[in-house]
Amino acid sequence: MLIAIIADTHLPRARRRLPEQCVAQLRGAELILHAGDISTQAALDELAALGPPVVAVHGNVDEAALARRLPGELEVEIDRVRVAMTHDAGAARGRLARLRKRFPRAHAVVFGHSHIPLHQAADGFQIFNPGSPTDRRRQPQGTMGLAQVERRAIQFELVALGP
């Protein structure tokens, strides 16, 4: 199963929109994961209109109605692989161990908040932050993630979206 992963889209804001390369990846996926800071219910609805099912958690800047609609964290099982999601994974120091303890049944945790892409793994447990496709902050370009789930394993890939 091919999964597209985004976070920190902060839409709508001024003329900001998802890059076409990101939209193409989202449409081509079988599932979309959004790790929070979508901003509005309308933005989530537009994402859902792309086709694949969307699984999302709320972030710290999401409007109140959206925060009530979405959980702050969740776990989803995809072909016998358990993926947890949260928006803010806390301080960088000790993050891998802390998330492993927080989500003991998960094989991987997807998170956002920092806008900084990250993939770490230890002893079969992985954490992944796709960065942001729309608000790159101090990063050279926008990013998103892809994950392939097969044979009870998940493999993450960071996708650079260009300038």
**Mean of the pLDDT values across residues 66-94?**
96
Residue listed under structure tokens 């086709």: 51
**Mean of the pLDDT values across residues 15-34?**
93
What does the alpha-carbon distance between residue 147 and residue 81 come to, in Å, rounded to a whole number?
12
State pLDDT tens for residues 34-74. Answer: 999 999 999 999 999 999 999 999 999 999 999 999 999 99
Element at 33 (helix H, strand E):
strand 31-34
The total number of structural domains in the chain stands at 1
Contact status, residue 112 vs residue 143, Cβ threshold 8 Å: no
Tell me the pLDDT band of 12, cut-offs 50, 70 and 90.
confident
Average pLDDT, the chain: 94
Query: So what's the pLDDT on residue 14?
Result: 63
Q: What is the CATH number of the domain that holds 24?
A: 3.60.21.10
State the first-to-last Cα distance of the chain, in angstroms, to the nearest integer: 29
Query: So what's the pLDDT on residue 68?
Result: 95
Tell me the pLDDT band of 163, cut-offs 50, 70 and 90.
low
Query: So what's the pLDDT on residue 108?
Result: 98
What does the alpha-carbon distance between residue 93 and residue 21 come to, in Å, rounded to a whole number?
33
**φ, ψ dihedrals at 111, nearest 5°:** -145, 175
Tell me the pLDDT band of 17, cut-offs 50, 70 and 90.
confident
Domain extent, residue 109, equals 2-160
State pLDDT tens for residues 34-43. Answer: 999 999 999 9
